[in-house]
Amino acid sequence: MGASADRRLVAGRYVLGGPLGRGGMGTVWRADDVLLGRPVAVKEVELPGGPPGAGREALRERALREARAAARLNHPGVVTLHDAVEADDRLFLVMELVEAPTLRDLVDGSGPVGHAAAARIGLELLDALDAAHRAGIVHHDVKPANVMVTAGGRVKLADFGIASLQDDTQRTLTGAAGAPGGADRALTAAFGSLPFVAPEQARGGHAGPAADLWALGATLWFAVEGVAPFERAGPAATLGAILHDPPGRPARAGPLEPVLLALLVKDPASRPRATDLRRMLERPATGTAIPSPPVAGAPGTSPAARTPTPTVPVAGPPAPTLPVAGAPVPIPTARLPGGPGAATEALAGPAPPSGWGDPRNVPRRRRPGRQQLPGWTSPPRKRRRWGRRLLVAVGVLLALSVASNLEEDRPGASGPAGLGDPARDGQFEFVVRSVDCGARSVGEGIGRKQALGQFCLVALRVENSGTEGRTFGGGHQYLFDDAGKRHDPDLDATVRRGDGHLWSTHLNPGQRLEGTLVYDVPDPVTMARVELHDAPFSGGASVELG
């Protein structure tokens, strides 16, 4: 199969289509593997500029070697690298095509995620990194833009096999900082990943698996806070914060806070191991709080502060107290006069007058200007009828509850949403217009796609009826059959049909979006409902099809 005039053929096998995105190291293209007949993603890598030389050639050879090593990494949490080829003096990395937004896209569009969801993301990323580290591969560029969150909530880590190349590129650029203005240009070139770079990596030293764990901590911090822990106004300030500043305390992390602080320790040797980190993440992932362990190197911690001072009860008068390092110095006290069993203490100083502190010797004070007349007695005080008022309040609540139930039982009262009815989740109001199943293919010409079973076409409208901008993602709109099985949208088929805007579109308040999502489902099957979400981890709104 050849390539059309507007579609490039790479290495006689990969037909490049439209661009999926662009990063600091090149452009990612949607492509077709014409040999195996499958869609793939192809990253066209841009090597550092300058005249060709031994250094540039060595960098290309190393990139090819490490990319091919990463291609042997087989893990469900890693975007699979299928191939690495050279063509037209360029390097192309052929990867699994993942139809999903990145964690950065989700946070930027929908706001920070909850700490339990972030902990689950952390566990999946940790499993992927642990598998890579066991295979001798260090990612070097873990960041939210490289974390793909699929429609089912699964996580995939991208850019294995290129991160080391990016690390070398940044060192090459940093080496040019001796020229006037070179430092600022070098830092700006590396700024895309700088907020997530470990201190040892930022210094140009050896960056091993512990550097990936630092970046994991910074990524999870971004997930729950919406900003990286050391991100500052400019690249130089960000680099200084990474090298010298403590991370502070996150505001929204909840039980995830001790995990983040443990990962962001400056000393790589003091960061938790993968086995310990997995245990620390499992508890907040299930909503269980974990104790805050002492973080090595954190400010305000010392051996004296972490070790409690044992207390031993002693009979008789208290023994003299000696100051202990790290403990508060006790204030000298003196006994008040009284019986042998008196235990009251006061600050040392002149002894109080005799009888001071005895309530029997304190004369009762009378309010000035009020005197009790002879033979006059005060009227009985009114008793507050709190019990009666409480009963009245309970009765009102019961009446309102009965009225609400009667309203729900009236004919015509609203029930589950159906076709054409509005259904709301979060800030989005959805209307499913129709669900048509039975199509065998979608698209035209070279873009035509055949169904594995049958295509179901779900025509819908979504409107942002809230007060803030939100990003609609087609990947987390689900179709359920009558057996309760969930079917995810086929976003590739949706794009080929001409509704690519349903993949991911930002909607400001009042904006509306319409289109048709395509689902590849078995044949025969009966569809029961559509479940619609304004974010991957939202509660969802259901539209019944029966």
Does the pLDDT of residue 154 top 50, yes or no? yes
Q: Which residues of the chain does CATH 2.60.40.1240 include?
A: 422-544
What stretch(es) of the chain map to CATH 1.10.510.10?
99-175+189-296
Three-state SS for 446? helix
pLDDT at 354 > cutoff 90: no
Residue with tokens 């005060």: 378
Superfamily of structural domain 99-175+189-296: Transferase(Phosphotransferase) domain 1 (1.10.510.10)
Q: Which residues have CB under 8 Å from 188's CB, separation 6+? A: 235
141 is catalytic: yes
**Peptide bond before 328: cis, by omega within 30 degrees of 0?**
no
Residues of the chain with CATH 3.30.200.20: 1-97
- Pull the structure tokens for residue 455: 């295509």
From 272-276, 430-434, 492-496, the region with the lowest mean pLDDT: 492-496
306/439 Cα distance (integer angstroms): 67
Q: Which residue has the higher pLDDT, 302 or 99?
A: 99
Bridging pattern class, strands 90-96 and 38-45: antiparallel
Question: pLDDT confidence of 411, banded at 50, 70, 90?
Answer: very low
Has residue 444 got a pLDDT over 90? no
As given in the structure block, the two tokens for residue 372 are 């009790």
Which residue would you say has higher pLDDT here, 330 or 202? 202
Residue 480 Rama label (left phi>0; alpha psi -120 to 50; beta): beta
Confirm if 492 and 167 have CB atoms less than 8 A apart.
Answer: no
Least confident of 282-286, 365-369, 396-400: 365-369
The model carries a pTM of 0.51
pLDDT at position 303, please? 38
DSSP state for residue 322 in the 8-state scheme:
P
Residue that has been written with the tokens 């299930």 in this structure: 286
Catalytic option among 32, 105, 127, 141: 141
Alpha carbon distance 307, 478 (integer Å)? 53
Q: Which pLDDT belongs to residue 440?
A: 94
Residue 505 in this model has a pLDDT that exceeds 70: yes
Of 133-147, 176-190, 205-219, minimum mean pLDDT range: 176-190
Point out the least confidently predicted range of 115-124, 316-325, 429-438, 460-469: 316-325
Average pLDDT score, the chain: 76
Number of other residues whose CB lies within 10 A of the CB of residue 240: 14
pLDDT band for position 341 (cuts 50, 70, 90): very low
Beta bridge pairs of residue 464: 428
- Indicate the fold that domain 1-97 takes in CATH: Phosphorylase Kinase; domain 1 (3.30.200)
Average pLDDT over residues 512-529: 94
C-beta separation of 95 from 40 below 8 A? yes
Q: Indicate the CATH number of 422-544 among 1.10.260.40, 2.60.40.10, 2.30.30.280, 2.60.40.1240.
A: 2.60.40.1240
Q: Between these two residues, 494 and 405, which has the higher pLDDT value?
A: 494
Residue pLDDT, tens place only, 112-127 = 999 899 999 999 999 9
Render 109-159 in DSSP notation, one character per residue. Answer: HH-PPPHHHHHHHHHHHHHHHHHHHHTT---S---GGGEEE-TTS-EEE--
More confident residue, 502 or 183: 502
Going by C-alpha positions, the residue among 93, 166, 163, 158 that lies closest to residue 125 is 158
